[in-house]
Amino acid sequence: MIELFPLKGFTIGGMNIVKKIVSKMANSLASPTSVLSHPFTVAVEGNVGSGKTTFLNYFNKFDNVGVFAEPIDLWRNCNGYNLLDLMYKDPKKWSFTFQSYVQLTMLRQHQKKIHQPVKLMERSLYSARYCFVEKMSRDGLMAAPSVAVIDEWFKYITKFEDTKVDLIVYLKTSPEVAYERILKRNRSEERTVPFEYIQALHDIHEDWLCRKTLHNCVAPVIILNADLDRSVIEEEYERFGPHILNKMPLQAEVL
């Protein structure tokens, strides 16, 4: 409680003004629309074609959730350059450039302040490094010195910036289902993606989030069966909704 004491030469009218200012400040601090320093942050991870957009659209209907889709529009237009398209067409030449920009834009996603208590992010800095840079490194599409530069930036950012993730939702799909969805949605940049690429990304996600044999799993993981058809997948969302919305603590058996 704040108590105000009259100062010498300070009029009653002046006191009333001060009281009004203090009251407004207190109401502002208590307002449910004030920006949160760190909302409960959920990274929605999964292979290409795993249904992340469908998942985000479902939870976007809740007033207490802020949803952040992957900044694909930025990747398609970096000062007029479509880095996503360049990377798919000539990955050996453009992987480092593309992943450098991905790291920057994903950092901005982590840093964005919201009023809602729950923040859902489509992918994260961690999957960018642990899955996609990992794949490029294994395939020789990104030279070892380039990987080292990406990695040094990654370690610096995750040490000194608030990139904390409180929960990971892994939309687990079979490579066959993911690839079929990619073919159906027919994005121009993805037309040259071979099945082997999707298979390899699946294995990397499994090693990171299921077997936990690759890199560091930075948060508890909920695994959803994302092979399910859209007509029934919402049952999976509802099943884990209380955990995703931070209304129920996680039990060991759901990890």
Q: What is the pLDDT of residue 248?
A: 86
pLDDT digits 0-9 by tens, 97-115:
999 999 999 999 999 999 9
Beta bridge partners of 43: 121, 168
Alpha-carbon distance of 62 to 240, in angstroms, equals 15
Q: What letter represents residue 224's amino acid?
A: L
**Which one, of 53, 83, 44, 79, lies nearest residue 189 by Cα?**
83
Alpha-carbon distance of 196 to 234, in angstroms, equals 29
Rounded to two decimals, what is the model's pTM?
Answer: 0.84
What pLDDT band is residue 189 in, cutting at 50, 70 and 90? confident
Q: Where in the sequence numbering do the catalytic residues fall?
A: 122
pLDDT digits 0-9 by tens, 210-243:
999 999 999 999 999 999 998 899 999 999 999 9
- Average the pLDDT over 193-209 and give the result: 97
Domain boundaries, the chain: 1-31, 35-254
Contact assessment for residue 105 and residue 21, using Cβ atoms and an 8 Å cutoff: no
Q: Give the gyration radius of the chain's Cα atoms.
A: 23
List the CATH code of the domain at 35-254: 3.40.50.300
Interhelix angle 175-185/195-205, nearest 10 degrees: 130
pLDDT digits 0-9 by tens, 57-74:
999 999 999 999 999 999
